[in-house]
Structures are given as C-alpha cells and as structure tokens.
Structure 1
Amino acid sequence: MHGAVFLIEFGGILFALGLLGRFAGRLRFSPIPLYLLAGLAFGEGGLLPLGASEEFVAVGAEIGVVLLLLMLGLEYTASDLVANLKTQYPAGAVDFALNAPPGAAMALLLGWGPVAAVVLAGVTWISSSGVIAKVLGDLGRVGNRETPVILGILVLEDLAMAVYLPVVTALLAGAGLAAGSVTLAVSLSVAGLVLFVAVRFGRTVSRFVSSDDPEKLLLVVLGLTLLVAGIAQQLQVSAAVGAFLVGIALSGEVAEGAHALLSPLRDLFAAVFFVFFGLHTNPADIPPVLVPALLLAVVTAATKIATGYWAARRAGVSARGRWRTGGALVARGEFSIVIAGLAVTAGVQPDLGPLATAYVLILVVVGPLTARFTEPLGVAFAALRAGSRPRKAELAREP
C-alpha cells in the first residue's frame, strides 16, 4: 500500500511539473517560479501535503543540486576560467560589493545574526545562470557585443561559489575559526588541484572517461560526479562544489556528450529540487516577510543593473549594450535557492526560507522583463537628461 501511495504521489508531482513546464514554455517564461509554487502547494500548510514520497523527493533534490553544478562546470574549460579571472576580476569585485551587502544588511536589520547575514548576502549576490542563458537565447542576444561581459560575470560568480559554499557550510555546522579555516583551506586546495589537473592533463582525464557507448558514458560521468560530490560533502566542503569541479575537469567531446546525455536528468531533478525547497516553506510564512523581500528585490535589481552597466562600460560596450547587460543580470534563481536551502536544512532562521522563496519568485519573474525593457527605458532616460541640460543652460543665461 505504501508503495502504491508513493507511486501515485511522485507520479502526480512529475505530471504536474510537466504541465507547468509546458505552460511556462508557451509563455516563453522560466518555469522556476511555477516549480516553487508547486512545492508550496504540496508542502506543509499547502493544498495537498505529501506523505509517502517526501523522503524520495529529498534525495532527488540533492541529486538535482549536484547535476545543476555539474552541468554548469561542463560549460567552461579550465583555461576559460583562468582567462576570466585575469581579465574580469574587477567586474566580479564590483558585483560582490554592490549585491552582497544589501542581503547581509537586511538580515542584521531583522535581527537574524551574522550567520544568517552571510547566507542572505549570497542569496542576493548570485544571479541565475540558467534563467539568464535562456533569456539571452529567447531574445536573440547570444552573439551580441555585451554577451561575453555577462557570461564573464556569471563565470566569476560560479568560481566564487567554490570559496563561498565551504565557508557557509562551516558556519552552518557551527564550526569554530580553526575548523572553518581548515575547511576553507581544503576546499581551495582541492579547487586549485582540479584546475591544475584540468589545465595540464584535461585531455588525459577526458580520454579515461570517454566512451563511444552513450550508456557507459552516462554511467561513468554520473557515477564519478556523485562519488566526488559525496566525498566533498563528507569533508564538509560542499557536494555542489565537488560536482562543479568534475564538470570543469571534463572537456572536448566528452563534455559535449555528457551535456547532451545529462540535460534531461538535470531538468528532471532540478525541478524536484525546487519543489523540495517549496515543500519546506509554509505558504502562511511568506506574507510576514513579503515587504522585506520586495524591498530587497527593488534594491538588488538596481545594484545588478549598475553592476552590468559598469562592467560593460569598462569593456568598451555602447550605451545601449550597457543597459542590456545590467538588465540581463537581474534574475536570481537556482543558486539563491541552493544557498537558502543549506540554511533551511541547518535550521538557522525559520523565516530565511520564506524570505528567499519570495525574493526569488519576485526576481525570477522580473528578470526577463528587465532584460527586455531596461535598454529602451535607459536610453529614454539618458535622452531626457540630455534634452534637459540645454534648457537649464538657457534658463541660466536669461536675465
């Protein structure tokens, strides 16, 4: 009976997610907010609370995080990452300086303490690579002059996660300064080692993993990723960082083949992950944090636009491209939920999960709109300012 209930519940979840995904696709919209709403509906306090399948959904959510980071790592080679670090690190520094402090300040103003401040800083700092990539494709901007600037900022954020996630993991575990320093040192050492191996011996690693049989390639890559992610988590580094580093180490035809094979699995388990996060958020807990979430969304949308504008101007992009860059970076999504999910699991602050859910829901909806309309609004505003300057000068000359 228990098995039958599990199949009914989990099958119903997947069926509902499929319908929501189709609906979002017709609207050319990210399905992430719909998945989060589905989680709210299936969770405690929702319309149809789950019972038998919740434990399996939790395991699926962990796999979803691992696959999200693996696929992200497959997008980049070690040489790409090193080149981005050398050329665009000032943009990464500005990105952090403008977008992390609002989250930290909000947590402190709400009286949540320093650990929650570090977590919420990450939530507001990191843009959604998945949503942004989809929006750029939908708007036909993949070949635009400003697109490398956008991708460069996203790559730097992804690299920063290799340092940030172990720090957060140590803080959430209640580790002291010494233990936290050891954890960070281990994480940086592993990351550095993987990058070195990927640069010097990437072809050798890829040949070892490579297989002409798609089934064997899928099993080897997925098995290796889960193995490394599990070892990383056992060392209190981060399963997500371990998966990201595996993706970086693979290159060439192996990376392309693994990407094609794992994309459907990534989409499946990522959807389960967003549902799982929603399951742990009571819909009744969202209204009390809606005002702080809305305030954070307004402030950090503006800071992301400023980040993109500055980075694009530094790269010599035209004024229109600068506005497009800023508007494209506004969306938050999978990384923000991953970071908040760590805190929710650790039981740091009960209201952090609802706040992060509301915040992501707002910006994952607003992000595609800012990507589309920031440029014309910015150009109109600039023209208005330019038109008002001569008029001010004339008034100053009048007796």
Structure 2
Amino acid sequence: MSLGQLFLEIGGVILALAFVGRAAGRLGITPIPLYLLAGIALGAVMRLGDAPGEFIHVGAEIGAVLLLFTLGLEYTSQELRDNLRANRQVGLLDLALNFTPGALAGLLLDLPPLAAVLLGGVTYLTSSGIASKVLSDLGRLGNRETPVVLAVCVLEDVAMAVYLPVVAALLIGGTLAAVGVNLLVALAAFGLAFFLALRYGHVLSRLVNVRSDEALLLSVLGLVLVVAGVADHLKVSAAIGAFLVGIALSGEVADRARELIRPLRDLFAAVFFVFFGLQLDLGSVPGVLLPAVGLAVVTALTKFATGWWGAARTGVQTRGRYRAGTTLIPRGEFSILIAGLGLDLEPTLGPLAAVYVLLTAILGPLLARFDGQLAPLLDRRLREARAG
C-alpha cells in the first residue's frame, strides 16, 4: 500500500470520528455509543487495507492503556488500598452475579464446557476503558460512588490474573504443572507491581518529574507502554499495569501528566471504541442476535445490582447508586479477548461476544448519561413498592 493511500484511509476514519464527536457534544451525551456505531458503518462501506487496519488495532490497544493510566492518576495508593479492602464483598457478589449467567447460557446453547466457561468470562468483566471514559466525560471522577466502580474494575482484573492463565493452559492442553506455573507467574507479577506502586510510588514520581513538558510527556508515555508490555508478557492485563503506574505517580507530576496525556488519551480512546465496531461482521449477526440480546438484558441487570448494592453499602443515595450500576454495565476489550481465545473451540463465540459487547457498550453509557431523569423515576417506583 502506498503512503498516500495509508494517510487517506486513516484520515477518513479520524475525520468520521471528529464528526461523531461533534454530534455527541450537541446531543449532550458521551460519544462512546456513536463511536461504536461509526465503526459498524465504516466497516460496512469501506474495506481498510492491512496497514491502516493494523494501525487502528494498535491504536485501540494504546487507547485502552491510556484510559486506565489516567484513571489511576485520580487516586492515591492509600485510597486504592482502603477502597479494595472495603469492597471485597462487592467483588465476590460481582463474580457470582455476572460470571454465572454467561456460563449457564453457554451450557443452554450446547457449547462445549470450556467454551461455556469462556462465555462466563465474557459476561463477567466490565470494560474498564469504557467505564473510565464515561466517568471522565460526565465529570464524575470525584463522585462518592466512583471508588466502588473503581474497586469492582480492579478486583475483576485481579480475578483475570487467575482466570486467563488457567483457561489458556487448558485450551492448549497444558498439564497441571503448566497451569500452576502460569498461575504463579501471573499472580506474582501482579502482586509485585502492586506492592511497588504502593510502596515506592513517591520515588518514581521524583525520578520522572522534570521541568520540560516535552521530556515529562515522553518519560510518562514511555514508562506506561513499557510497564503495559511487561504486564502483557507476564499474562497480567496490560491495562492494569498502566493503571498501577497511574497509582504510583502522585503530587505535582500526576497533575502535569494528566494534562499532558489527555489529548493523546482522547485520540486513541476514540480509535479504541471505533475498532470494536469495525470488527463486527454484519453477516454473522442474525444467528447470534437473540442470545446476545438475552445475555445483555440479564447481565445489565446483574451489573446494575452489583453497583447499586456496592454504592448503598457506602451510604450513597439513590442517584449515586444508579450511576454506579449503569457505569458498570458496558463490557469491552477483555470480553472480546476472552472470546477470541476460544474461536478454534467454538466459532460462534466471536460474533456472539461482539454483538453482546456492542449492546452493553451502547446501553451502559446512555443509561449513565440520563441519570437525572431515570434515577428519580426508579426511586419513586421503589418507594411505591415498599409502601405497597
């Protein structure tokens, strides 16, 4: 492919995202659902070459990493430690309510047992990238319910540090010893990174804090990508590695890094969301639409219940509980990844997960945006039910 063709295709995608972003601003909603729909539309009308497709794929991965990094910058290590300790029960409820529907649906659809376990992972995981984008777009990073959302996302990634190595080893027919080794490596890597971020984050902050904005941007971006790469090689989520770098940075350097990285985050986050839409093969949709809709409805309710209960435990009122529940509904990058692991085992996992992710990724941000209208209605219905 010529350089000119590469620029034309990438430029066309970015201009489409700019138009969609402006439309979302006029409507007063987060652009995430429109980015996803734009990806579907672009995939239907144009065929990207290998080079532009690869660029968008890599850009999507960088977007997920930067979203989690900037979310980590919002919290100190002590806040994170206290938050995780206080929300362990919410994490267990989240696992029970959201893994079970996917696994049961897999068995009802007559999928192989291991494919059903993979579908349970698809329905379990909230998209940390979408959740953090919703919180940022709607100005809710400082809200009382936000620590509950953060704790659920982090606890899910901790669970994934156990889940992914085990499933990967089973898929390739690994021995019990191989499963054990992969599991130990993943847990040790996560535990070490978590300890270093909490204990020595202030040292890292001093090392990267330079006067030059350019040097600081390059230092922070390079560090985030290196840590994310190491985390991925060790079978730990690249996004959670970036999140821990954000947690480690504090004080002045965190404030400056947040401002410097924001334009890059917004660019690659838009690419991240449109990539989901581009991946969806419209020809495969009819065969999986009914189970995907059913799963989306059931697990939207179970995620909402998770966020509602978690926020209620901390004394948050109805509107905050509603926001916590709706912010947790979207599934995303890791759900697609998990489904991709089992494509050779069960080909329908891919399109089923793609349609399911698309539905929840559109539903969650829209419900979160209209909390002012829907939360009072829900509160009134609950009061009437209790009175009855």
TM range (shorter): 0.7 to 0.9
Match of 2:282 in 1: 283
Note the C-alpha offset of 1:213: 1.0
Q: Provide, for residues 339-373 of structure 1, a one-character-per-residue CA deviation record: whole Å limited to 9, x for no partner.
A: 31353377444333332332233233332454425
For 1:106, the equivalent position in structure 2 comes to 105
Identity of aligned residues (%): 53
| Cα distance change, pair 262–146 in 1 and its aligned pair in 2 (3 A) | closer
Q: Give the Cα–Cα distance (whole angstroms) in 2 for the partners of residues 254 and 176 of structure 1.
A: 46
Residue 267 of structure 1 is matched in structure 2 by: 266
Who is 1:392 aligned against? none
Cα distance, 1:167–1:322 mapped onto 2, change above 3 Å: farther
- Pick which of 138-147 and 90-99 moved more: 138-147
Structure 1 segments, 4+ long, off by >6 Å, are: 137-143
Retained in 1: the 8 A contact 2:220–2:257?
yes
User: What amino acid does structure 1 have at the position aligned with 2:248?
Assistant: A
Match of 2:49 in 1: 51
Unpaired runs of 5+ residues, structure 2, are none
Counterpart-to-counterpart distance in 2, 1:201 and 1:338: 29
Does 2:340 correspond to 1:344?
yes
What amino acid does structure 1 have at the position aligned with 2:284? Answer: D
Q: Give how far 1:210 is off.
A: 1.6
Look up the match of 2:299. 300
Cα 1:147/1:121, change in 2 over 3 Å: same
Structure 2 vs 1, CA of residues 161 and 206 (structure 1 numbering), >3 Å: closer, same or farther? Answer: farther
Name the counterpart of 2:124. 125
CA distance in structure 2 between the aligned counterparts of 1:131 and 1:230, rounded to whole angstroms: 21
Q: CA deviation at 1:323?
A: 4.9
Mean Cα deviation higher: 262-271 or 112-121: 112-121
**Contact 1:36–1:277 under 8 Å retained in 2:** yes
Q: CA deviation at 1:106?
A: 1.9
Letter paired with 1:343: A
Residue equivalent to 1:394: none
Q: How many residues align?
A: 383
1:152-175 CA-partner distances (Å, limit 9, x unpaired): 434434544454455555556664
Matches within 5 A, 1:67-86: 67-86=66-85
- 1:276-318 deviations in Å (ceiling 9; x for gaps): 3333321111222111111112111221232233323433445
Q: CA deviation at 1:142?
A: 6.2
Distance 1:256 1:172 in 2: 43
TM-score w.r.t. length of structure 2: 0.85
Provide the residue aligned with 1:41 in structure 2. 41
| Corresponding residue number in structure 1 for 2:214 | 215
Provide the rounded CA distance (Å) in 2 between the counterparts of 1:4 and 1:215. 29
Q: Structure 1 residue 22 and structure 2 residue 22: aligned?
A: yes
Given the superposition, is the C-alpha separation of residues 58 and 315 from structure 1 closer, same or farther in structure 2, using an over 3 Å criterion?
Answer: closer
Instruction: Indicate if the aligned counterparts of 1:149 and 1:325 stay in contact, CA closer than 8 A.
Output: no
- Counterpart contact for 1:145–1:317, Cα < 8 Å: yes
CA distance in 1, matches of 2:240, 2:327: 22
Q: Secondary structure at the match of 2:45?
A: coil
2: CA distance between counterparts of 1:8 and 1:192? 45
Q: 1:98-247 to 2 correspondence within 5 Å? A: 98-129=97-128, 131-132=130-131, 146-167=145-166, 170=169, 175-247=174-246
* Cα 1:40/1:321, change in 2 over 3 Å: closer
What is the aligned-residue RMSD (CA, Å)?
Answer: 3.0
Are 2:257 and 1:258 aligned? Answer: yes
> Aligned match of 2:326 in 300, 321, 328?
328
Contact 2:9 2:48 in 1 (8 A): yes
For structure 1, the residue ranges without an aligned partner over 5 or more in a row are: 389-399
Which residues in structure 2 correspond to 1:361-376 (within 5 Å)?
A: 361-371=358-368, 372=371, 373-376=373-376
Q: Which amino acid aligns with 1:51?
A: G
| Contact 1:40/1:278 (<8 A) preserved | yes
Q: Which has the larger radius of gyration?
A: 1
Distance in 1 of aligned mates of 2:374 and 2:208: 44
Report the residue type matching 2:358 in the other structure. Answer: L
The whole-number CA distance in structure 1 between the counterparts of 2:223 and 2:100 is 37
Equivalent residue for 1:13?
A: 13
User: Following the alignment from structure 2 to structure 1, what is the Cα–Cα distance between the partners of residues 58 and 320?
Assistant: 42
